Amino acid sequence: MVSTVKLGSGQFTYEVAVNWEKLPPGYSWREVAGVAVDSKDRVYVFNRGEHPMIVFDSKGNFIRSWGEGVFSPRPHAVTLGPDDTLYCTDDGDHTVRQCTYEGKVLMTIGMPGKPAELYSGNPFNRCTHVAIDPKTGDLYVSDGYGNSKIHKFTPKGKLLFSWGTPGTDPGEFNLPHNIVTDKDGYVYVADRENHRVQVFDSKGKFETQWNNLHRPCGLVISKDQHIYIGELGAGMGVDRYTPNIGPRITVMNTKGERLARIGHLGYGLGVGQFVAPHGISLDSKNNIYVAEVAWTHISHFEKPPDNPRSLQKLLKIG
């Protein structure tokens, strides 16, 4: 029996729910890239295995899987949309697909398998995530690995405008990786390799930036407007064990004030440790779900286990 491990402090204290998910016989995933939770606390696990989307209830019981033959081997992120639809960002085939919770594709933005020219600024070249304007339903797509752009679309998928160029100055990006919006329509971008989160208004005007983060990767915003930031941690074998730079979760308010840091046990596959927080989501009780690209991260340095742990649930107790 694994002893209880607690992370965080104060109102941001959590217990690790070990082996929470119950996969059916024969199911596995190479690693989990993204996770989302709907209005009924069903959990959608967007993964790089044979069954790209696996759905669980809040207790970890398997409900269904879908997406087989639809997505590339590189699913990247999933965002909850209106009416419990899901926006599935696939950087391997350069598309965003809006799907029902049962897996029916309602809309595809981008040309499957046909990337825009590298750093052309046109959508998409390895897009990474979707955010939704709470006032208008407009979509923001971070176009991250092969572009340095944020694209804004209508709810029907018509491109409105784009902003951003490669670089390190305000309004420039070095891998815009995840994106969220707050209740007032401000846009928060995890500018991963610039080690910051940038904040914009709904027209793409730069407002501010948050520093003192290490490779911010996954973003989610709670109903009380707290922004949870999954920090990927070190990218090189020589520094991955350096203390106090991640991998971890940082919680901030919309003013950019740090409220908590979750994850004091450092890099690793042990209970309460993280390897590579890549996507993050919350349920109605503010329990945290963390998707980790653990296989990719470990494979850079050594022979990985066949199926390293790549999904964690943290139960809120604070």
- pLDDT score of 1: 44
- pLDDT score of 308: 86
Q: Look over the chain and give the mean of its residue pLDDT values, rounded to a whole number.
A: 94
Q: Which two tokens stand for residue 166?
A: 């490669």
d(CA 131, CA 137): 9
d(CA 90, CA 115): 12
Query: Which residues have C-beta within 8 Å of that of residue 262, sequence separation ≥ 6?
Result: 7, 8, 12, 14, 248, 249, 250, 251, 288, 314
Domain ranges (residues) in the chain? 6-316
- Tens of pLDDT, residue by residue over 64-89, are 999 999 999 999 999 999 999 999 99
- pLDDT at residue 215 above 70? yes
Element (H, E) at 246: none
pLDDT confidence bin for 307, thresholds 50/70/90? confident
- pLDDT at residue 229 above 80? yes
CB-side neighbour CA atoms (13 Å) of 246:
24
Q: Which two tokens stand for residue 224?
A: 């009380």
Q: Tell the CATH topology of 6-316.
A: Neuraminidase (2.120.10)
Q: Which of 153-162, 242-251, 277-286 has the lowest mean pLDDT?
A: 242-251
The dihedral sign for the CA sequence 142, 143, 144, 150: negative
Question: What order of strands is seen across the sheet that includes strand 86-90?
Answer: 75-80, 86-90, 95-99, 105-109
CB-side neighbour CA atoms (13 Å) of 40:
10
In percent, the amount of the chain with pLDDT more than 70 equals 96
Q: Which two tokens stand for residue 193?
A: 């390799």
Average pLDDT value for residue range 194-214 = 97
Q: What is the dihedral of CA 44, 47, 51, 55, to 10 degrees?
A: -10
Q: How far apart are the first and last CA of the chain?
A: 24
- pLDDT score of 105: 98
pLDDT confidence bin for 243, thresholds 50/70/90? confident
pLDDT confidence bin for 223, thresholds 50/70/90? very high
Average pLDDT value for residue range 3-14 = 92
> What is the chain's Cα-based Rg?
18
Average pLDDT value for residue range 102-115 = 97
CB atoms < 10 A from the CB of 317, how many? 13
- pLDDT at residue 286 above 90? yes
- Tens of pLDDT, residue by residue over 112-137, are 999 999 999 999 999 999 999 999 99
d(CA 266, CA 274): 7
Residue 219, judged by CB atoms within 10 A of its CB (0-12, 13-18, 19+), counts as: buried
Q: How far is CA 287 from the centre of its chain?
A: 15
pLDDT confidence bin for 2, thresholds 50/70/90? low
pTM of the model: 0.96
Determine if residue 266 is left, alpha or beta; phi over 0 gives left, psi from -120 to 50 gives alpha, anything else beta: left
- Tens of pLDDT, residue by residue over 43-59, are 999 999 999 999 999 99
